[in-house]
């Protein structure tokens, strides 16, 4: 097993990650027909994240398929995922978010399998200065963990700026 995978697996055992699972904030989701002996095809992992109740058709949870190669040196690359179709979630079903993090959830980012956010590879690669400009939420190479990534998304999906699906 590679060093990045060993570190990722170790971070899934940390109390901070486990607390999010216990509280029902997030959890790992095993995709059918793509599992290896550990549940996913490395370097991908799929997580569900609980979302606040909003008018239909807003889901109770969203799924993120996250590429975690070169973990935790490189930021994870997450994409909202349709676990039934095993494909990227349709744009109209992505979360509708207003306010300071709305751009992070835009479904038309030029790299469709990444989020345009300071905690995601898509944002950090496009705007390396975001690490300095948004230190509270930016992925910090060698320091940040997957539970912190999931906690940011969970907080946004449960805040007043989350309005259901984009439609």
Average pLDDT, the chain: 93
Q: Determine the pLDDT at residue 153.
A: 98
Q: Is 1 exposed, middle or buried (0-12, 13-18, 19+ CB in 10 A)?
A: exposed
The average pLDDT across 71-82 equals 97
pLDDT tens digits, 85-94: 999 999 999 9
> Residue 79 — pLDDT band, cuts 50, 70, 90?
very high
What DSSP designation does 147 have? H
- Which is it for the CA torsion 91, 55, 61, 122, positive or negative? positive
Residue with more model confidence, 167 or 141: 141
pTM: 0.93
CATH architecture type of domain 3-165: Roll (3.10)
Tokens of 120: 């995601």
Q: What does the domain layout of the chain look like in residue ranges?
A: 3-165
Residue among 14, 8, 45 at smallest CA distance from 28 = 45
Query: How does pLDDT run across 116-150, given as a tens digit for each residue?
Result: 999 999 999 999 999 999 999 999 999 999 999 99
């Amino acid at each position: 097993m590679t060093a990045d995978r060993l570190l990722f697996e170790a971070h899934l055992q940390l109390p901070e990650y486990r607390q999010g699972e216990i509280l029902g904030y997030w959890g790992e989701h095993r995709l059918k027909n793509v599992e290896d002996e550990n549940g996913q095809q490395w370097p991908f992992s799929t997580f569900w994240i609980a979302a606040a109740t909003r008018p239909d058709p807003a889901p109770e949870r969203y799924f993120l398929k996250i590429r975690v190669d070169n973990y935790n040196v490189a930021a994870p690359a997450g994409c909202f995922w349709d676990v039934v179709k095993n494909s990227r979630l349709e744009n109209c079903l992505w979360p509708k978010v207003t306010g300071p993090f709305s751009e992070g959830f835009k479904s038309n980012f030029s790299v469709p399998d990444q989020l345009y956010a300071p905690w995601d590879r898509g944002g950090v690669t496009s705007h390396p200065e975001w690490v300095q400009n948004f230190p509270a939420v930016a992925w910090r190479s060698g320091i940040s963990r997957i539970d912190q990534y999931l906690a940011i998304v969970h907080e946004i999906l449960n805040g007043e700026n989350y309005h259901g699906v984009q439609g």
